[in-house]
A and B are shown apart, each in its own frame.
Chain A
Amino acid sequence: MREFRYEKATDPAGAVALLAGEPEGAYLGGGTNLVDLMRLGVATPDVLVDVRQLTSTEVEDLPDGGLRIGAAVPNADLAGERRVRERYPLLAQALLAGASGQLRNRATTGGNLLQRTRCTYFTDTTMPCNKREPGSGCGAVNGYHRNLAVLGATNEGADSSHTCIATHPSDMAVALRALDASVRVLGADGERSIPIAELHRLPGDDPSRDTTLAHGELITAIDVPALPWATRSRYRKVRDRASYAFALVSVAAAMDLQGDVVADVRIALGGVAHVPWRATVAEDLLRGGPATEAAFVAAAEAELAAADPLSDNAFKIPMATNMVTRTLVQLAEARA
């Protein structure tokens, strides 16, 4: 592990000021991903600015009925928070589907959004990886990729500096994407709020960048807007073992059911793309239509029509289609 200086600030602005002068520095939250990446030699900061006790550990009510989640709220506490369990079941379920009890106790809400892909080529410094070492190529497209992306990836061949088929590993972020959360960020120029849709980015021509955050910007809170019909919501996850594994495919969905009609719906997918994938094609087809299994299948198939799988991850297309369908059927049958 590279040597680093350990710094603490007295407030978030102080932390931002500290990191602004450290181009190779990083913030330390719970450290459950960063410390591991440092040990692997994937992350090599020369300064760590500890922010775990700087940002809020509170969940506050917003005037519109939504919630403001402090960036330092541990994943476990957020999942246990009664207002989250009552208002946003899909968010509580997504958090509980992620990691282990030990990791959820330590990992923070802000850090969860910024965790890096678990693509094995990214975490192995002996392998080519455009995300870890821009321009080195992608080992995964012709290698082990059954767990990697089928939507929104860049594949110009193993040698291209653009190619990246990594997936975003977070469960929580998938639920927050369905809920249209926004991320409050403090930078050298002050505070701004970013819709979560604009936080994570597709690999495009620069796979090294996971998010649109500038160096030194600090997540201070996540705002979840009110969505009264999110009481009819759930998060489902399929993985290689029953617990404590990353998603092959996951679905976060909420439904506003009026009689037999889907008045409104939110669907986001995990495990299929470089970002938490909002299924807007499916949502548009479903909105105002009948809440029938046939309609759900058609919408899911339309969403996955854009998928571009590789030899070993094409199974994710029927898996995602079936999971979207099954989740929507369950929501339509559920008591609100």
Chain B
Amino acid sequence: MDNQITLRVDGADTPLTVDTRTSLLDAMRERLGATSAKKGCDHGQCGACTVLLDGRRVNSCLVLAVTAEGQEVTTSDGLATGGTPHALHDAFVDHDAYQCGYCTPGQIASAAGVLAEAARGWPSAVTEDLVADATDLTDAEIRERMSGNLCRCAAYANIVPAVAEVAVEQGVRA
């Protein structure tokens, strides 16, 4: 069954008619030509489809497009401003934090979410002091918080320092 919706992806509003079964991921990729987020497992297990939905990282394969109306979707592409790469983009390049690159837009959108969550003082499963006021994104914290993003090339050893560099810049890593 078809529904009329308007999706706002990376700042652009597009009205479209979608089958209610369409995921946000498929609507972006197949209907809007917004191919930054990738389809890996399509089950919420790999993280390649990660986008920010009203600033929070989610798996866009598990979000029905009809439920995303009125929300701001930001992909890795949308993190760049006016052709200038986001600090995470630069850090991933500088640290060679990928091999094939397929998971990278999801990794970067997820990392942006991690930084925002750390700025809110949210703990993780490896945080010793649950009631600490501030978060220190140690390597162990980054690994735990990024565990929803798989990299089959296993570029993890370079992804962690890439995220760490931006975490220092943003004041969420000592």
Contact = CB atoms under 8 A, between A and B. Distances in A.
A5 B44 contact: no
B18 to A, nearest CB: 10
Interface stretch (B61-69, B84-92, B157-165, B166-174): B61-69
Interface stretch (A101-109, A217-225, A290-298): A101-109
Interface string B41-66: 01110010010010011110011101
Contacts of A35: 23, 62-64
A96 interface: yes
A36 B44 contact: yes
A79 interface: yes
A192 interface: no
B122 interface: yes
Contacts of A1: 21
B128 to A, nearest CB: 11
Given A31-B62, A32-B62, A101-B113, A6 B3 contact: yes
A330 interface: no
B95 interface: no
B62 A85 contact: no
Contacts of B53: 105-106
A244 interface: yes
B117 A103 contact: no
Interface stretch (A58-66, A86-94, A303-311): A86-94
A4 B20 contact: yes
A97 B63 contact: no
Residue among B110, B122, B131 with most chain A CB within 10 A = B122
A79 to B, nearest CB: 7
A80 B121 CA distance: 8
A93 B130 CA distance: 8
Interface in A67-97: 74, 76, 79-80, 82, 85-86, 89, 92-93, 96-97
Contact of A80 (B23, B64, B114, B123): B123
A96 B127 CA distance: 10
Given A4-B1, A6-B64, A82-B131, A102 B20 contact: no
B125 A97 contact: yes
B35 interface: no
B113 A102 contact: yes
Nearest to B59: A102
Contacts of A48: 20, 64
Contacts of B144: 242-243
Interface in A187-246: 242-244
Contacts of A100: 47, 147-149
Given A39-B42, A105-B56, A85 B1 contact: no
Contact of B124 (A6, A86, A96, A99): A96
B1 A5 contact: yes
B25 to A, nearest CB: 11
A332 interface: no
A103 B113 contact: no
Contacts of B123: 79-80, 85, 92, 96
B148 A101 contact: yes
B143 interface: yes
B11 to A, nearest CB: 21
B120 interface: yes
Contact of B21 (A3, A32, A92, A243): A3
Contacts of B23: 35
B145 interface: yes
Interface string A244-283: 1000000000000000000000000000000000000000
A244 B21 contact: no
A82 B123 CA distance: 10
12 contacts: A31-B63, A32-B44, A76-B56, A80-B117, A93-B130, A96-B123, A96-B125, A96-B127, A97-B125, A100-B148, A101-B145, A242-B144
Given A4-B1, A105-B53, 20 more contacts: A1-B21, A4-B21, A28-B64, A31-B63, A35-B64, A50-B67, A79-B122, A79-B123, A80-B121, A80-B122, A82-B131, A92-B123, A96-B124, A96-B125, A102-B50, A103-B44, A105-B58, A106-B56, A106-B58, A243-B144
